[in-house]
Amino acid sequence: MTSRHRSSESTFSAAADVNSLAPHRRTVVKAAAATVLLAGPLAAAPSARAATSQTPAFLHGVASGDPLPDGVLLWTRVTPTPEAIPGSGLGPDTEVSWTVALDKAFSTVVAKGSTRATAASDHTVKADVRGLAPATDYWFRFSAGGTDSPVARTRTAPAADAAVTGLRFGVVSCSNWEAGHFSAYRHLAARGDLDAWLHLGDYIYEYGTGEYGTRGRTVRPHAPAHEIVTLADYRVRHATYKTDPDLQALHAKAPVVAIWDDHEFANDAWSGGAENHTEGAEGTWAARQAAAKQAYFEWMPVRPALAGTTYRRLRFGRLADLSLLDLRSFRSQQAPFGSGEVDHPDRTLTGRAQLNWLKAGLSASDTTWRLVGTSVMISPLALGALPASLLKPLAKLLDLPQEGLALNTDQWDGYTDDRRELLAHLRTNAIGNTVFLTGDIHMAWANDVPVNAGTYPLSPSAATEFVVTSVTSDNLDDLAKVPEGSVSAVASPLIKATNRHVHWVDTDRHGYGVLDITAERAQMDYYVLSGRTDPAATSAWARSYRTRSGTQRVERATAPV
């Protein structure tokens, strides 16, 4: 794929079912269009300047995640002393207690405990609290050395056999710190009606300051300023993101269910490397990948299903289960464009064990809806004739030749045998109501997922897919440096004409989704922001699409839920 000048700078284990850029690149629309050494990068981090006394401080907020019917995972990071900044390896062991209550005033405490924060885990702590009631709101906080953390709300999942009338999830992806402010998180936090929120990948970005798309303007510089490679680097970058007030607000309002994509590691990551990784200059890929994974599990309220992966399954009563995929740890290297290797049966996106797990889970599911969290788009994408004004920026964003393009090999289009096997499994076993929830592409889509795109709609649809746009990462208009909406007006009709399974695509706007599920339908309401560089950006409803039970097809809804 495209190259660039590079800098040489350098738990918890449970069953798989937990109920049991190269300055020129990256997928803006990936399928569519010791102390001294650490002092420099750490001093740049916002969190490095905040603790000024010997009293412990909770500078990175609190969070919860992976809700179960009887529990939830709680998270925080304590700064015990001023020198114990993220990534430093400094600071004393510190006892951290946690309390869970039925009310914000903590008059009805239902659970409490304590754990130790150590430099070995970057002073992050997790409490996997069990023995709670299903489908119940709780409030929690942490304490250390006489200091209390902020108070946060969380919610458990419904009982496995509960007849749930509705679920509501916020859905986000692709949040580049340098490109803007996280207003999408603020607006989701303000709703107060979410059972949970899903982050479908690219929660952080690995690039050095100014190296990744910000339309020529770095709104707020990354820390560390160089590209992150080491464990200390990844820790500092996660810590930087966790200082964002809008992100802290959302984490304090509802549990998150998160998966990673490539930028939690490096651009276009695969099992043996990444486009944005240079062996030798940046060390081995195995060491970098291990550092990225360690920092992720330290800093995220995620309960890993298998050591070093994020694929797992959550259940929400009899209404829905959610299979979450890890599409970076096991995949084959991306095929060269136009090589024909995309169809080779030995190439895999999921890895055999994960694909078998997914198929078995879909077959065994007894819920009304089967949700699948996938970090890259499963719907096929072909692009026909485009005007010259759009072809060059679109080819640039997709890493494709400017003389013509057909698909993006980083998503399921580059691993067609896995996709064929999965969709055939759905059809052969008459598994309906499967909805893929996707990020990565920095555009909003509402798609049917056809068994054979070439003959669709005469051939059947095996599933549906809702793709959310980016929180801040470049859309197509950002890369083309044209007014918002101008690219979509031209590109959207052309994409839909060539891809008859695509009901809607918005190439230009930033925002988030709200997925509302009942027994009768699953509906995605798409919201857009007035601007990504304005910390006070407003939010407005843009479109809604739904799939009715039993149809495996998407249709437009006239209003948000």
Segment 385-395 shows an average pLDDT of 59
Report the C-alpha gap between 172 and 413 in whole angstroms: 22
The overall average pLDDT reported for the chain is 88
pLDDT in tens, 157-214: 999 999 999 999 999 999 999 999 999 999 999 999 999 999 999 999 999 999 986 5
Quote the pLDDT of residue 402.
40
Q: Which residues pair with 170 in a beta bridge?
A: 197, 514
- Which are the contacts of 474, defined by CB distance < 8 A and separation ≥ 6? 28, 176, 179, 213, 214, 215, 397, 442
Quote the pLDDT of residue 305.
72
Quote the pLDDT of residue 517.
98
Q: What percent of the chain has pLDDT over 90?
A: 78
pLDDT in tens, 468-477: 999 999 998 9
pLDDT greater than 50 at residue 454: yes
pLDDT greater than 80 at residue 391: no
pLDDT in tens, 260-277: 999 999 999 999 999 999
Report the C-alpha gap between 343 and 546 in whole angstroms: 31
Cα dihedral 161/357/331/327 (nearest 10): 0
The structure's pTM equals 0.90
Segment 248-270 shows an average pLDDT of 98
pLDDT in tens, 296-336: 999 999 997 776 899 999 999 999 999 999 999 999 999 98
- Which are the contacts of 73, defined by CB distance < 8 A and separation ≥ 6? 12, 64, 65, 66, 126, 127, 128, 129, 255, 301, 302, 303
Q: What percent of the chain has pLDDT over 70?
A: 85
Quote the pLDDT of residue 537.
98
